[in-house]
Structure 1
Amino acid sequence: MTVLPDPTVRYFKTVRTDRQGPVLSIELNTPEQGNVVTDTMLDELLAVLDAQDPDVRVVVLSGAGADFCLGGDRSEFAEQLAQDPTGGGIRGSGAKARRVCEALSTNPAVTIARVQGKAIGAGLALALACDLRVGAETATFRLPELALGLPTAWGGLLPRLLNEVGAARVRELVLTCRAFDAREARDLSILQNVVPENDLDAAVRTWAAPVVRRSPTALRVTKHLFNAYASATRLADVTVLDAELLASALAANEYTTGKASRQTGHLF
């Protein structure tokens, strides 16, 4: 018997999408690389989010394989610096990162992060940009930027952390670069729910089920209100400087010399 492809599923180079009625699932889909964030992935996430159907009420962001996302691809950053030592390519990627995170946080639909394994640096930023975040009991998190000689400047991560967690706790996580588990992440409000890994999908459905019944207008206005009140707590939106800060730090950092170009894996 011939099995026809599911018309609701679309595969890109680095992401996979699945539309089921009012629920759009977006999966980071390079598990062999730990779903590290590349320029291609940012482009594809932007393409999916920019083309999102207005009838979508819930967007679920997940990662294929063992880990949600191991952060940015340091080998790609080394290549970008080799091509342009002034950091022009990194500025472009940083601007895309900010647009992706803003597209998640200001999305008219409710965005849900489904986190398993490790969520490191940029991976944590993507999850934190979502409205609701559920993690497996075995999930772990880390902000390693300072240990790599970099500022915490990717996708507007720092102001979101400050808004969700609070300055004192964020300062400790950023300065020590230590890993923390799902239970602590819930205590910090980085996660709102922690479940066994096998129950992640059920937890997502539990949140999505009532949301899809809400008035789309009321849902959209409520999302606008949440974002407006969060923005009101900031004197200025300095996330516009994230790409510039990251590019400048990488260009000046000894990490980005020949040694970096020979290494692979996550950058932050």
Structure 2
Amino acid sequence: MNAPLLTDVPALPAERILKTLRVHRQGPLLTVELNVPEQGNAVTDSMLDDLLTVLDNQDPAVRVLVLSAAGDDFCLGGDRGEFAQHLAHDPAGGGIRASGTRARRVCDALAANPAVTVARVQGKAIGAGVALALACDLRVGADTAVFRLPELALGLPTAWGGLLPRLISEAGAARVRDIILTGRVFDAAEAHTLSILQKVVPGDALDDAVTAWVKPLLRRPAPALRVTKALLNSLTASTRLADVSVLDPELMAAVLSEQHRPRALR
């Protein structure tokens, strides 16, 4: 695993050493890179804890946060091996519930972040990877990027990090039914049509596309930028009516613990 890079980042708790991220601070710009490429940047409890450490200790002077990923893929989703470990340790789903709560906190921290958040997506973005990107304000993807929400095919509800209400808000209910119920792979062009991505560029132009967003954002007066983002979040939330994604951890735990029960006890 690559060593974390911490440059001019707000002081983190002494007991927390980032194991799954590389973080770089350049003035009002903070870059957070998922950094477990050998595992496709799959989301683990350790990664969620690292993300919470960074987001909870974020300097208020940060105006833009870029979420990126090392290696070929943005994120291959949640670590199913870790789910199995949680169930083996607690068949009632306590570990799954705790993990789901962490996921919700991370995605909420990105969405409600006072800084403008930008997702830089390459390769595969699957399940939880889609949720992390979708929690960001602006999302650019390589034209070779592919997306999938395979939870149903894996026997799971689409209940991770508040993904479903955000996805319906951005893409529309009818189109969300298609990609969730079929679990099919869709490309960057369709992700753009669905507003999962706002911009699609060749892979070698990803950094330039991010910079094209970041530069003008950094020139905006900080108070106006912060208030405008808060207004946009408030108006978007008001269109969701009832957001039951607070139940995501409970739903995930209930479904997985039921599947894990011995057949004779069902």
Shared fold (TM-score greater than 0.5)?
A: yes
Per the alignment, residue 185 of structure 1 pairs with 191
The structure, 1 or 2, with the larger RCO (C-alpha pairs under 8 Å, 6+ apart) is 1
Per the alignment, residue 252 of structure 2 pairs with 246
1:162 to 168, 193, 215: 168
Note the 1:80-159 alignment, pairs <5 A: 80-159=86-165
Per the alignment, residue 173 of structure 1 pairs with 179
Runs (4 or more) in structure 1 with deviation over 3 Å come to 5-11
The Cα of 1:248 is off from its aligned counterpart by 0.8
CA distance in 2, matches of 1:42, 1:85: 22
Per the alignment, residue 262 of structure 1 pairs with none
Give the TM-score normalised by structure 2. 0.92
CA distance in 2, matches of 1:39, 1:79: 12
Are the structure 2 counterparts of residues 28 and 211 from structure 1 closer, same or farther at C-alpha, using a change threshold of 3 Å?
same
8 A Cα contact 2:6 2:23, kept in partner:
no
Per the alignment, residue 265 of structure 1 pairs with none
Per the alignment, residue 266 of structure 1 pairs with none
Per the alignment, residue 219 of structure 1 pairs with 225
Q: Which amino acid aligns with 2:243?
A: D
Question: 1:77-103, CA deviations, whole angstroms, 9 ceiling, x for partnerless residues?
Answer: 100100000000110110010010000
CA distance in 2, matches of 1:94, 1:179: 24
CA distance in 1, matches of 2:35, 2:201: 22
Per the alignment, residue 52 of structure 1 pairs with 58
Q: Which amino acid aligns with 2:252?
A: L
Moved more, 70-79 or 8-17: 8-17
The Cα of 1:122 is off from its aligned counterpart by 0.2
Corresponding residue SS for 1:45: helix
Q: State the superposition RMSD in angstroms.
A: 1.6
CA distance in 2, matches of 1:187, 1:230: 19
Per the alignment, residue 28 of structure 1 pairs with 34
8 A Cα contact 2:43 2:78, kept in partner:
yes
The Cα of 1:150 is off from its aligned counterpart by 1.0
CA distance in 2, matches of 1:85, 1:6: 38
1:66 aligns with 2:72: yes
CA distance in 1, matches of 2:109, 2:175: 26
CA distance in 2, matches of 1:124, 1:63: 13
Question: 1:88-127, CA deviations, whole angstroms, 9 ceiling, x for partnerless residues?
Answer: 0110110010010000011111100000000000000000
Corresponding residue SS for 1:138: coil
Corresponding residue SS for 1:252: helix
Corresponding residue SS for 1:150: coil
Question: 1:189-248, CA deviations, whole angstroms, 9 ceiling, x for partnerless residues?
Answer: 110111111111110000000001111111111111111111111222211100000111
Per the alignment, residue 18 of structure 1 pairs with 24
Unaligned residue ranges in structure 2 (runs of 5+):
none
